[in-house]
């Protein structure tokens, strides 16, 4: 659906996007995460040529946008919806007219607009706010108007630039649920820029991590949480799944301290109880949590294993075989 080939964007001496290559599949929600200044928003704006790449190729739905004339690009943009962090609504226009504005710009007739706007309002849950002005809306409602406006011309791609960053957690959750619903019911490909790993966890299928204008890691979201490969990815994962223990919990321990990651089926199996039955050890649970990512369980457990060196090491080998992911944080005392 979207091919980003060797895309670079420079502003004089500053390279905001540096030779990025990505392939985004039809119908997926693709996340791009990074800290401020990583180049993620610039890359997003390159996709609809609001920012023209200094070099590289952008292909969307089989058309090479970077090879089109300005007039042709404007026509193709109608197939690419975009929503923004700060909504960008017209304060002097009602909710109805804000949505109708993009339809008028696309040359739709009054009859087409009259039919389409109520459909969009119902889709985003604002049928009762048609005559309201932006100043009369909450932040979440404003973003719903922005989403309706972005969907007005039935785009094949929806670009979301920090769409939930200005919203409170409860409203963020409702907006993410709406995006998931839109993706599922309409099959629209969504590219979502964020600096919040919780957003990625909740809605994305795959994610690219950006730093200094480059993609430093690309993975299925579940795999990213289960086994991040770079230091930056680990930082982002730990903002959602903190694995740091207070130092006092590590003082005076008598056994081996291990961290076990349970993925897929192993997260639902009685691995620890079976270990205790087979080996003469005792266990202190120091930390534990389980999450569901893309409806698949992912669990983390940090335990102290107490027993003879032989029994502890046999137990470690057994758990490693069952889970494929065990790290010894401290050796047997």
pLDDT bucket at 149, cuts 50 / 70 / 90: very high
Do 124 and 46 belong together in one domain? yes
144-148 LR contacts (CB < 8 Å, sep 24+): 144/175, 144/178, 145/87, 145/89, 145/95, 145/98, 145/99, 146/83, 146/84, 146/87, 146/88, 146/89, 147/83, 147/175, 147/178, 147/179, 147/182, 148/99, 148/120, 148/121, 148/123, 148/124
Cβ partners under 8 Å of residue 47, min gap 6: 2, 4, 58, 60, 80, 157, 159, 191
As a whole number, the mean pLDDT across the chain is 90
Do 134 and 99 belong together in one domain? yes
pLDDT, average across residues 142-157: 94
Do 210 and 281 belong together in one domain? no
Distance CA 113, CA 211 (A): 42
Tokens of 56: 């590289």
pLDDT, average across residues 46-63: 93
Report the number of distinct structural domains present in the chain: 2
Do 43 and 104 belong together in one domain? yes
Do 80 and 164 belong together in one domain? yes
Contact 289, 299 (CB under 8 A): yes
Contact 147, 124 (CB under 8 A): yes
Do 229 and 271 belong together in one domain? no
pLDDT surpasses 90 at 20: yes
**Considering the entire predicted model, what is its pTM?**
0.87
- Give percent above pLDDT 70 in the chain: 99
pLDDT bucket at 333, cuts 50 / 70 / 90: low
pLDDT computed for residue 118 by the predictor: 95
pLDDT computed for residue 111 by the predictor: 94
- Which range among 182-196, 258-272, 278-292, 305-319 shows the weakest confidence by mean pLDDT? 258-272
Do 158 and 203 belong together in one domain? yes
pLDDT bucket at 76, cuts 50 / 70 / 90: confident
Write the CATH number for 34: 3.40.50.300
Do 47 and 184 belong together in one domain? yes
Do 153 and 301 belong together in one domain? no
Sheet holding 282-293, edge to edge: 282-293, 296-306, 256-263, 326-330
88-126 in b/e burial notation, b at 16+ Cβ within 10 A?
A: ebeeeebbbbbbbbbbeeeebeeeebeebbeebbebbeb
Q: 180 is in which domain, residue-wise?
A: 2-239
pLDDT computed for residue 332 by the predictor: 55
Do 138 and 262 belong together in one domain? no
Secondary structure tally for the chain: helices H, strands E? 11, 14
Domain finish residue from 223, 239, 255: 239
pLDDT bucket at 93, cuts 50 / 70 / 90: very high
pLDDT computed for residue 85 by the predictor: 83
pLDDT computed for residue 318 by the predictor: 92
Do 224 and 264 belong together in one domain? no
Domain finish residue from 221, 239, 257: 239
pLDDT, average across residues 193-211: 94
pLDDT surpasses 80 at 246: no
Contact 137, 102 (CB under 8 A): no
Domain finish residue from 216, 239, 262: 239
pLDDT surpasses 90 at 47: yes
pLDDT bucket at 134, cuts 50 / 70 / 90: very high
Distance CA 270, CA 275 (A): 9
Using CB atoms within 10 A of its CB, is residue 244 exposed (0-12), middle (13-18) or buried (19+)? exposed
Of 238, 263, 253, 261, give the one whose Cα is nearest residue 283: 253
Do 125 and 273 belong together in one domain? no
Write the CATH number for 259: 3.30.70.260
Contact 131, 167 (CB under 8 A): no
pLDDT surpasses 80 at 320: yes
Parallel/antiparallel/unpaired status of strands 282-293 and 256-263: unpaired
- Which conformational region is residue 307 in: left (phi greater than 0), alpha (psi within -120 to 50 degrees), or beta? left
pLDDT bucket at 325, cuts 50 / 70 / 90: confident
pLDDT computed for residue 268 by the predictor: 74
**How many Cβ atoms sit within 10 Å of the Cβ of residue 206?**
21
pLDDT computed for residue 178 by the predictor: 95
């Amino acid at each position: 659906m979207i091919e980003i080939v060797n895309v670079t964007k420079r502003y004089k001496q500053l390279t905001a996007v540096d030779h990025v290559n990505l392939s985004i599949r039809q119908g997926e929600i693709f996340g791009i995460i990074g800290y401020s200044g990583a180049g993620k928003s610039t890359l997003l704006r390159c996709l609809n040529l609001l920012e023209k790449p200094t070099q590289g190729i952008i292909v969307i739905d089989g058309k090479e946008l970077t090879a089109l004339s300005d007039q042709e690009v404007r026509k193709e943009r109608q197939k690419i919806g975009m929503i923004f962090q700060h909504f960008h609504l017209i304060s002097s226009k009602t909710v109805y007219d804000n949505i109708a504005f993009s339809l008028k710009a696309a040359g739709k007739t009054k009859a087409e607009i009259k039919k389409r706007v109520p459909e969009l309002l119902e889709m985003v849950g604002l049928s009762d706010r048609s005559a309201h002005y932006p100043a009369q809306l909450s932040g979440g409602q404003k973003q719903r108007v922005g989403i309706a406006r972005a969907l007005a011309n039935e785009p094949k791609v929806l670009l979301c630039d920090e769409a939930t960053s200005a919203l409170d957690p409860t409203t963020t959750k409702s907006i993410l649920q709406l995006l998931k619903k839109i993706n599922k019911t309409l099959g629209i490909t969504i590219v979502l820029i964020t600096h919040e790993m919780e957003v990625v966890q909740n809605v994305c299928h795959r994610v690219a991590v950006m730093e200094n204008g480059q993609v430093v890691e690309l993975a299925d979201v579940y795999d990213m949480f289960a086994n991040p490969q770079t230091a930056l990815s680990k930082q982002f994962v730990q903002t959602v799944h903190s694995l740091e223990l207070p130092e006092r919990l590590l003082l005076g321990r008598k056994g081996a301290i291990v961290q076990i990651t349970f993925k897929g089926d192993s997260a639902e199996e009685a691995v620890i109880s079976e270990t205790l039955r087979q080996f003469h050890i005792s266990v202190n649970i120091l930390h534990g949590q389980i999450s569901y990512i893309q409806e698949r369980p992912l669990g983390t457990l940090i335990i102290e294993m107490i027993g003879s060196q032989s029994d502890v090491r046999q137990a470690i080998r057994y758990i490693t075989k069952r889970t494929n992911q065990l790290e010894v944080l401290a050796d047997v005392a």
